[in-house]
Chain A
Amino acid sequence: MPENRDNDVRIGVFICHCGSNIAGYLEMETLAEYTETLPNVTFVQRNLYTCSEGGINEIKKAIKEQNVTRVVVASCTPRTHGPLFMSSCGEAGLHPYLFEMVNIRDQCSWVHMQLKEDGTTKAKDLIRMGVAKAALLEPQEPIMSDVQLRALVIGGGIAGMTATLALANRGYEVVLVEKQEALGGMLNRLNKLGPVMTDASGFIEGITEKITQHPKITAFTNSQVTEVQGFIGKYKVDIETESKTRNIDIGVIIVATGGRVFVPDGLYGYDGKKVVTQLEMEQLLKKGLDSNIKNVVMIQCAGSRNEERPYCSRICCQTAVKNAMLIKEQIPDARVSILYRDMQMYGVENEEMFRDSKAKGIRYMNYDPEKPPEVKPVAKSVQVSVYHSLLGQELTLPADLVVLSTPVVAQEDAVATSHLLRIPVDENGFFLEGHVKLKPLDFATDGVYLCGSARFPANIREAVAQGLGAASRASIPLSKGSVVVEPIISVLTNEEACRGCGLCVALCPYSALEIQNTEKGRKVHVIDVACKGCGVCAATCYQHALSINSFTDQQLEAQIDAFLEVS
């Protein structure tokens, strides 16, 4: 860092009144007079609104006429107004990163409305600190990196196929990798799709055909992704296909690996014959039920909402109701009873199907998880005894067939996939999205997206919507063709000091660090386009080898020193 830069550091400070938002609660004149006394400050101006056209012009004028080489604006929050001031500096010929913002509204006038004097003192402290940092600011150049215009979709179920088609329809090349021998995923094992009762097979055929005929899509079945290297825009992916291993350049990745249905070994006398899962029931219905079946009992939450798997698997109730109705369709005089804890028929369509099923004579019985149903073999059939918690009575139900509604659970290889792509899984083994509410289809790591039951159990409508949505998210870097990253990122400023211990690599939430073997030994390498500048690595590095641009140790220390100077 150049030591004698002070000579050409000429700081212009603009203090905003924000109408009365700031000026109503702080002593503005005092602030301005005080600011003039600070080191390196050559120009101070108060503005009614620094962000207004007039205020912006004043900044530009000061850069050009007063030869100001650093700009500090003391006003509101950089969250809303930082970019505006930075670009204005740029327009006037000053490097945008030679700008510093001090928040005297949110942190002073708003929170200390009743304390004019103290609020003003705090504003003085903040401005002094901002000025101290501004003196040490250095230009930073945005980082650009090209994006390979090709997407990889892992998983050829309905979510993955939908995402694949959507991206291909947008004109991007898509590589679709499916582990099984055919596309379709869970749909291949379903009979009809609720609530509209369309044949699953016909639906898949339609989509599979579109995929296989699309010129932009390469679909590999019986294949697996075995290696992923690189970062957003520049992945190198190894795909092991039947014939050989291919290495393909990829720009973005969509994870659509789906889920699997829990097999209830040892639960409720499960044998796959008299006691089956809903998934097995789908096949029985598809073949046509044995007309001797007169009594069917379904048990909900078989293996879910318990200690081992505490979550509700969302789609099993609707599957049970759908299959119960289909049983009635095939054998109208069959007695179908559903033993449940809560009927999770959320939404418009599900609740409607639930109502229709009651009209068709499906019987619902509420059971207490403390006293779960018991299934006993009796002669050629089975018997289900259940404490009907609403009647307060033990009931015994004869059953020719018991159907267990088992949860969708994470894929067995979900953890391996998570290592491969450096993405997290949650406590139930499903992939963990960037934000459970606001970023349901993204990961914290840029360039990788998520949809379908790999995220959480989803029905057809939800899986299709998520497939389209993930395609939309993934298309953003593709359509831009490049990624531009704010240069406020981590840099290895002291390579000598780095011991390659890897502590920072383990802590980086964005997979933006890696250890490389160099001539000087093991050293950390920052993947700049993946770094978000959070600073965890720099704060952790006990060797002070890493530093964050615009938040360097020197800059922060200067701020702290400035604060302590007067206080």
Chain B
Amino acid sequence: MLDVGRHPNISLMAYSEIEKVEGHEGNFTVTVRRKKRYVDEAKCTGCGACAEKCPTSVPDAFNTGLGTRKAIYSYFAQGIPSTHTIDPDFCRQLNGKKCGICQKTCQADAIDFDQEDKIVELDVAGIIIAAGYDVFDPSQIPEYRYSELPNVLTALEFERLLSASGPTDGHLDLPSDRAVEAEIKALEKKIGKSKRMLEKFEKKFDESSKQFYEKYNKGDYSDDKDRKKWADKYAEYLAIMEPLEDLKKKAESFTTAKRLAFIQCVGSRDFRFYPFCSGYCCMHSIKEAIIAHEHENETTSRIFGMDIRAIGKGFEEYKIRGGNNSNITYVRGRVGEISQGPNNNPVVTYEDTHERLVKSQEFDMVILATACVPTIGIIELAKILGVELDKYNFIKTSPFSPVDTNVPGIFACGCAGAPMDVPESVAQASSAAERAAEIAIQLRQVQNVQF
């Protein structure tokens, strides 16, 4: 990323979209919309002072909604470019409220609430599509109850939990517990407010609220308006305090997730959704299970899959090592259902095909290996570029020219073409660069065009 950001031959246009493409191989004109960030790219140093002071917190998409970010933000800490962006949906200033704190904070004078989209035209010889992919939304699978059960996560969400810079600093805190902790925090905030109010009364009448309330309930001060207000406030306080104490007691027994289930082929190899195999999910489940075990070595993991496709260099060995050293067991079978067990623990019902038995097992956390699916904007992009898609909406290529699209001069690499893992994507990226360079060079030879 850093290399891309710094390379003298690369102009990086992040937060931008392709609007129109005209011309042909060797001579395309591309119209790019550079979306307004409300931050001047040339001035922003990425210091993050604005985000620190911004009063508005919103769910953080990078952390799959498990954490929060501010309304002015950089996508993630090491993101390139480090230029910050204002989220117009949440920014108070842009929604007509009084704020502008970021503008006052920014010492580089980079905030520009009046910024507009910029339209840029580029003349290019070739185009490479590296639009990537999205992950399958498992809430479409009713029997896995992803939207209902808090401790059923996608692999990507789990990845964020495992990350030292993620929302839980790398601890496998259960989402159900995190929800309780959030509730405690909210109630504590309320209690603090309530306490401050009570203190005013206590000062005024020089009596503790508790003592006063006992007397009040006996019928004393029944005609005193002020004291009635005090009594109401104290009742409110008690109404918050009770559930808060209960929750706090509950939170004392919270532990991190130690019994993990990984479910393969969620949305893939499934005729209801995507019949293909995503190719890399077996390996990321194994990797996540190994890392979870590294974090806490009493962690046990079961990986449920039809075939464990450890097909890359060193992958089978990694799989075996996971089994031997990281408490991973591999279960051959498709999970039929995930249901709610005690203490928000998900229960996995599956057929162990080797034992020919239907079984159920309770886990602390279930992780879904969701399919690699075509990215949401690809249909629109394909239309603009005139490239053909396959029946799933991946970009169509041939085995003999794996990065060429149907349009000469336009190439595709990575998961935009089909699901693939990192080394294969990196190799394909070089392939696409090669094909594009061939076009440019031939053009230079034939037409004596200089680049």
Which residues of A are at the interface with B, using a C-beta cutoff of 8 A?
18-21, 48-49, 51-52, 79-80, 83, 166, 169-171, 193, 195-196, 198, 203, 305, 310-312, 314, 342-352, 355, 366, 368, 389-392, 426, 430, 436-441, 455-456, 459-462, 464-473, 475, 479
Contacts and interface: CB of A to CB of B under 8 A. Distances in A.
A439 B426 CA distance: 7
Interface string B370-410: 00000000000000000000101010001111110000000
B398 A19 contact: no
A436 B314 contact: yes
Interface in B71-104: none
B2 interface: yes
B354 interface: yes
B431 interface: yes
Given A19-B107, A79-B2, A438-B422, A196 B48 contact: no
B402 A465 contact: yes
Contacts of B315: 311-312
Contact of B403 (A80, A440, A465): A465
A311 to B, nearest CB: 5
Contact of A455 (B313, B320, B428, B437): B313
Interface stretch (B141-149, B240-248, B271-279): B271-279
Contacts of B2: 79-80
A347 B419 contact: yes
A21 B48 contact: yes
B275 A351 contact: yes
9 contacts: A19-B108, A196-B399, A311-B314, A314-B311, A350-B277, A437-B426, A441-B427, A459-B399, A469-B428
B334 interface: no
Nearest to A158: B400
Nearest to B353: A390
A465 B441 contact: no
Contact of A368 (B47, B314, B354, B426): B354
A19 B437 contact: no
Contact of B313 (A195, A346, A426): A426
B437 A475 contact: yes
Contacts of B316: 305, 310-312
Interface in B394-451: 394, 398-403, 418-420, 422-424, 426-431, 433-435, 437-438, 441-442, 445
A440 B427 contact: yes
Contacts of A437: 422-423, 426
Contact of A21 (B47, B275, B419, B430): B47
Contacts of B196: none
Contacts of B118: none
Contacts of A19: 45, 47-49, 107-108
Contact of B307 (A343, A438, A467): A343
Contacts of A389: 353-354
Interface in B309-327: 309-317, 320
Lowest 6 A-B CB distances belong to which pairs?
A: A19-B47, A469-B430, A472-B434, A342-B307, A468-B431, A461-B399
B399 A351 contact: no
B303 to A, nearest CB: 12
Interface in B351-374: 353-354, 356
A465 B442 CA distance: 20
B420 A49 contact: no
Given A466-B427, A469-B428, A170 B438 contact: yes
Contacts of B276: 347-348, 351-352
B284 interface: no
Nearest to B53: A20
A464 B430 contact: no
A469 B420 CA distance: 16
A80 B78 CA distance: 11
A312 B439 CA distance: 37
A344 B305 CA distance: 12
Contacts of B34: none
A468 B422 contact: no
B269 interface: yes
B419 A310 contact: no
A342 to B, nearest CB: 4
B52 interface: yes
Given A346-B311, A368-B354, A468-B434, A460 B427 contact: no
Contacts of A479: 437
A171 B399 contact: no
B311 A312 contact: yes
Contacts of B433: 472
A349 B47 contact: no
Contacts of B228: none
B317 A310 contact: yes
Contact of B437 (A48, A311, A440, A472): A472
Nearest to A391: B356
Contact of B317 (A311, A366, A473): A311
Contacts of B390: 348
Which residue among A49, A345, A368, A472 has the maximum number of chain B CB atoms within 10 Å of its CB?
A: A472
A462 B311 CA distance: 13
Which residue among A389, A459, A461, A471 has the maximum number of chain B CB atoms within 10 Å of its CB?
A: A461
Nearest to B50: A19
B308 to A, nearest CB: 6
Given A310-B316, A465-B403, A342 B308 contact: yes
Which residue among B354, B394, B424, B427 has the maximum number of chain A CB atoms within 10 Å of its CB?
A: B427
B250 interface: no
Nearest to A48: B107
B47 A351 contact: no
Contacts of A83: 6
A346 B437 contact: no
A484 B402 CA distance: 33
Contacts of A391: 356
